[in-house]
Amino acid sequence: QITLRESGPTLVKPTQTLTLTCSFSGFSLSTSGVGVGWIRQPPGKALEWLAVIYWDDDERFSPSLKTRLTITKDTSKNQVVLTMTNMDPVDTATYYCAHGDYINYGVYFDYWGQGTLVTVSS
Amino acid sequence: QSVLTQPPSASGTPGQRVTISCSGSSSNIGSNIVNWYQQLPRTAPKLLIYSNNQRPSGVPDRFSGSKSGTSASLAISGLQSEDEADYYCATWDDSLNAHVFGTGTKVTVL
């Protein structure tokens, strides 16, 4: 049974750095074809993909946020950490992590965490 | 501003068939698989269709996906009240080198 859970601060101040941890079970991020992605959703708005890290350490980022994001994995702890620098109120959103299956010509996210709402405000 | 365009809303009465379109380009839908996600109110998204037309275990066969050229579609046949949700298409974009989600479609059961 695959489960994922996001954790981190619920409130951050503008210009601060956000650090979110995705703790998962039921799979290994060292298994070929597996990835963990981050997706966010501002209140009342659409989903926005942020980043993904794969079993082979390949990392991909949203072009519009690339300079602000880092993603790391700790295979032994079954965790993936996303950091986003220089937070702004427009970054207020629910942040999800998800298990990804990489196949030819794409990846799909078949298991999702419940999400964590991060509010950016002074 | 997403590169995948969906109609903002769609609706139907119980039992009807509803179709949602997802329009893209040669660098995304035209080159890669399309996936569909269902997001019920106040819940995390759920994978509904993967690899254009495959249903994960547990997804009713009322849901079906298709792709042609640079567009994809999700069809819901035998619409039920519990299908009222937001639906998103998604794929990889080779030009952006990024995963992209569609603008989302809210399905209402009248």
**Using CA atoms, how far apart are residues B28 and A52, in angstroms rounded to an integer?**
17
The stretch B37-54 carries a mean pLDDT of 97
* Option in B44, B50, B88 nearest A115 (CB): B44
In DSSP notation, B22-82 reads EE--TTTTTTS--EEEEE-TTS--EEEEBTTTBPPTT--TTEEEEEETTEEEEEE-S--GG
Reply yes or no on whether the pLDDT at A105 is more than 80. Answer: no
Reply yes or no on whether the pLDDT at B2 is more than 90. Answer: no
Chain-chain contact of B45 with A47 (C-beta, under 8 angstroms): yes
The stretch A90-100 carries a mean pLDDT of 98
* CA–CA min distance B107, chain A (Å): 14
Burial (Cβ within 10 Å: 0-12, 13-18, ≥19) of residue A32: exposed
The string of pLDDT tens digits covering residues A27-42 is 999 999 999 999 999 9
Under 8 Å between Cβ of B101 and A46:
yes
Three-state SS at A58: coil
**A58 at the B interface (CB within 8 A)?**
no
Chain A environment of B102 (Cβ under 8 Å): 46
Q: DSSP letter at B86? A: E
- What confidence score (pLDDT) does residue B38 get? 98
Residue in chain A closest to B106 (alpha carbons) equals A46
The string of pLDDT tens digits covering residues A44-82 is 999 999 999 999 999 999 999 999 999 999 999 999 999
* Option in B33, B39, B98 nearest A49 (CB): B98
Reply yes or no on whether the pLDDT at A103 is more than 90. Answer: no
Under 8 Å between Cβ of A48 and A62:
yes
Q: Report the residue of B86, B97, B99 to disrupt the A interface, i.e. the one with the largest count of A CBs within 10 Å.
A: B99
